[in-house]
Amino acid sequence: MNVVSPVAKLTAKDFATDQEVRWCPGCGDYAILKAMQRTLAEIGARRENTVFVSGIGCAARFPYYMATYGFHTIHGRAPAFATGIKLANPGLDVWVISGDGDALSIGGNHLLHVLRRNVNLQLLMFNNEIYGLTKGQYSPTSRAGTRSPSTPWGSIENPVCAVALALGAGARFVARSVDSLQKHLPEVLKRAHAHNGTSFVEIFQNCIVFNNEVFADFTAKEIADDAEIFVEHGKRLIFGKNRNRGLRIKPGALALEAVTIGENGVTEADILVHEETNRALAGMLAGMERPAMPIALGVLYCDPTPSYEDGVRDHFEEAKKLGAGKDLNKLLRRGHTWTVSG
């Protein structure tokens, strides 16, 4: 008689490899790696069913440090590889790891198409507003005025807002977190994993060598409560150290404004309730910038639709029904055909 043993529950350590983690001491990638290993253990992931796909950059070393399947691919093309993996074996759990340069510069076109196609995978973009691996050149998310080896007089370009771009590309799940938020980040990763379709998560990540504390204007402990707002579906958009600040639609304008509850007649009832299926609201949250407004963290937008591979599977089934019992040779030669002679 065969005895079926229960599958052992894996821990975070079970997802760690024996490879030496080769990021700079103090790099935010360490925190993201820890959060990911915790997340996989908590959602009951299986190593043999999990795949990490990366492009080029510091973030792209991620697959080496996860005891799962992994592909370290080429610059900007990780979404294309991941799409092929998912279509070949839809049962696999596919995570794409990319940096802001890898995803938004050379990989911008691939990012656009994986988002609009809605392939069922999780795409994590580590944003440190700089090219770290190639020694500190400015990236598509670098702020105007950023001085770097490639912009010694300061960047004159307008930076890309990653979550706004994702929304514009048709992404059905868009979220944000920070590398150091070790309670918040795993919860965002769990939500991303539960979503059917492409989940885009921007993770603000500190590059301690080439762009240290670039996000200190909202992550520094002494100001974070007043500079960050954690959005939750169905809850009012309230923030602040004293929980007395909030967001409302600015009177006479289609825009958000930050107000203080109890001042100028503002009550809690005036504060907006976050509706994560509202794309217009998500766009306004994505566009908020310091210092006038807080930075929105959490699930900005989530409105599921059937995934790309769901549609491909349906087409396969339809084709099999239409082709059942038919002669392949006749099918190939139907319609307009011609003969090449001579």
Q: Which two tokens stand for residue 187?
A: 């919860």
The whole-chain average pLDDT of the chain stands at 94
Give Cβ neighbours of residue 316 (< 8 Å, ≥ 6 apart).
none
The residues facing 341 across adjacent strands are none
Please check the confidence at residue 50 and state whether its pLDDT lies above 90.
Answer: yes
Is the previous residue joined to 63 through a cis bond, with omega within 30 degrees of 0? no
Question: What is the per-residue pLDDT across 214-248, written as a single tens digit (0 to 9) for each?
Answer: 999 999 999 999 999 999 999 999 999 999 999 99
Please check the confidence at residue 336 and state whether its pLDDT lies above 80.
Answer: yes
Question: What is the per-residue pLDDT across 255-287, written as a single tens digit (0 to 9) for each?
Answer: 999 999 999 999 999 999 999 999 999 999 999
Half-sphere exposure for 54 (CA within 13 Å, toward CB): 22
Of 202, 215, 57, nearest in space to 134 by CA: 57
Question: What is the per-residue pLDDT across 69-88, written as a single tens digit (0 to 9) for each?
Answer: 999 999 999 999 999 999 99
Question: What is the per-residue pLDDT across 184-206, written as a single tens digit (0 to 9) for each?
Answer: 999 999 999 999 999 999 999 99
203, 177 Cβ separation under 8 angstroms: yes
The residues facing 211 across adjacent strands are none
CA distance 281 to 191: 19
Residue for token digits 């766009």?
Answer: 283
Backbone angles phi, psi at 339, to 5 degrees: -115, 130
The residues facing 314 across adjacent strands are none
- The two beta strands, 93-99 and 50-54, are parallel
If you average pLDDT over residues 324-333, what whole number do you get? 82
Please check the confidence at residue 1 and state whether its pLDDT lies above 70.
Answer: no
How many C-beta neighbours within 10 Å does residue 190 have? 14
Please check the confidence at residue 68 and state whether its pLDDT lies above 90.
Answer: yes
Q: What angle do CA 219, 222, 225 make, to 5 degrees?
A: 65
Question: What is the per-residue pLDDT across 287-307, written as a single tens digit (0 to 9) for each?
Answer: 999 999 999 999 999 999 999
Can you give the pLDDT at residue 130?
95
Q: Which two tokens stand for residue 215?
A: 């996000």
Tell me the torsion sign for CA atoms 140, 145, 147, 152: positive
Please check the confidence at residue 329 and state whether its pLDDT lies above 90.
Answer: no
Please check the confidence at residue 331 and state whether its pLDDT lies above 90.
Answer: no
Question: What is the per-residue pLDDT across 77-128, written as a single tens digit (0 to 9) for each?
Answer: 999 999 999 999 999 999 999 999 999 999 999 999 999 999 999 999 999 9
- The domain locations on the chain are 12-219+294-309
DSSP state of 66: B
Stronger pLDDT, 328 or 176, i.e. the higher one: 176
pLDDT band at 340 (very low <50, low <70, confident <90, very high): confident
Can you give the pLDDT at residue 333?
81
Q: DSSP secondary structure string, 105-133?
A: IITHHHHHHHHHHT-S-EEEEEE-SSBTT
Tell me the torsion sign for CA atoms 291, 292, 298, 302: negative
If you average pLDDT over residues 307-315, what whole number do you get? 90
CA distance 151 to 290: 23
Can you give the pLDDT at residue 341?
86
pTM: predicted TM-score of the whole model, two decimal places: 0.93
Half-sphere exposure for 310 (CA within 13 Å, toward CB): 12
**What class is the 12-219+294-309 domain?**
alpha beta
pLDDT band at 62 (very low <50, low <70, confident <90, very high): very high
- The two beta strands, 50-54 and 69-72, are parallel
Q: Tell me if residue 102 falls in helix, strand or coil.
A: helix
How many C-beta neighbours within 10 Å does residue 113 have? 16
231, 274 Cβ separation under 8 angstroms: yes
How many C-beta neighbours within 10 Å does residue 29 have? 25
CA distance 125 to 29: 11
154, 146 Cβ separation under 8 angstroms: yes
Distances from the Cα of 69 to the Cα of 44, 51, 54, 57, 267, angstroms: 16, 5, 12, 19, 52
pLDDT band at 25 (very low <50, low <70, confident <90, very high): very high
